[in-house]
Amino acid sequence: MKRFLPAVISFIVLTLLLELVVQKGLISDTLIPAPTSVLKTLQEMHEDFATAFKETLFNVLAGLALSILIGNLIAFVFSLSDLLKRAILPFAVFFQTVPIIAIAPLLVIYFGFGAPTVIASSFIVSLFPIIANTLMGLESASESQKDLFRIYHASRLQMLLKLRIPSAYSYIYSGLKISAGLSIIGAIAGEFVGGGGLGALIDSARTQQRVDIVFAALLLLSLMGLLFMGTLTAVHKLIVLRRPFASSSQE
């Protein structure tokens, strides 16, 4: 708790300062709303925000789960076949370099409006960090360790399960932290064009010039991101307690 105390104090001080600045008219509330105005909007529209939050959360979790499952599977296959890695990995890099907002309209054409497009958008954005970090971790085992397994005639699958995956834990964890944040970004981009969730609320607020709604939605998205990071950290600490190989991972 002490580790988060400075951040909490800074947040409270900045919030109070912002409230004072807006109330004194130093900054127009049409540009930046007062924190009390944002809280009032959340209270007045709590049903709309609750529904949108649940919808966005479901789509993000679905997209992130797909990226974890498929991303790790692709990385495992690449680690077993250098030919497949050299043949397919450039395409994964290509999808990472193309802005999701540029291909989101195509997703609407392919999947239609609604959840499928949002999930696909979240999946595409969060996939590459999983592949890249897991693959890097699987290849991080030292040659002396690999030679030891070869001496005992271990198969590729045995080497993967008993050497490479334990060695890759810290990289996998880092990839998950990156993808957790990116999955939210991808989902919001998908909701801008596919509709639904907090992204649709933000887009609707843009046409109405309602910056209070936008800031309220951003606050909820930040809380969603903190929820993801907190969950990953808690799971990581639990794994560290049970698995010695995880003790060297990055916090």
pLDDT band with cut points at 50, 70 and 90 for residue 103: confident
Query: What pLDDT is recorded for position 82?
Result: 78
For residues 167, 169, 171 and 174, what is the CA-based torsion angle, rounded to 10 degrees? Answer: -160
94 pLDDT above the threshold of 60: yes
As to burial, measured by CB atoms within 10 angstroms (0-12 exposed, 13-18 middle, 19+ buried), residue 90 is exposed
**Is-contact 41 218, C-beta < 8 A?**
no
Please tell me the pTM assigned to this model: 0.84
Query: What pLDDT is recorded for position 118?
Result: 94
Distance CA 13, CA 197 (A): 31
Which residues 6+ apart lie within 8 Å of 176 measured at CB?
68, 130, 232
- Residue position matching structure tokens 């797909």: 66
User: Which residue in 78, 101, 245, 98 sits closest to 171, CA to CA?
Assistant: 245
169 pLDDT above the threshold of 90: no
Helix (H) or strand (E) holding 11: helix 5-23
248 pLDDT above the threshold of 80: no
Output the six-digit token pair for 111. 């999947």
Distance CA 28, CA 212 (A): 12
As to burial, measured by CB atoms within 10 angstroms (0-12 exposed, 13-18 middle, 19+ buried), residue 41 is buried
Mean pLDDT over 216-234 rounds to 92
Mean pLDDT over 74-86 rounds to 82
Output the six-digit token pair for 27. 């900054």
For 3-45, what is each residue's pLDDT tens digit?
777 878 888 888 899 889 888 888 887 888 888 999 999 999 9
Distance CA 51, CA 106 (A): 26
Query: What pLDDT is recorded for position 55?
Result: 95
For 36-50, what is each residue's pLDDT tens digit?
999 999 999 999 999
For residue 29, the 8-state DSSP code is T
251 pLDDT above the threshold of 50: no
Mean pLDDT over 129-144 rounds to 85
Q: First vs last Cα of the chain: how many Å apart?
A: 16
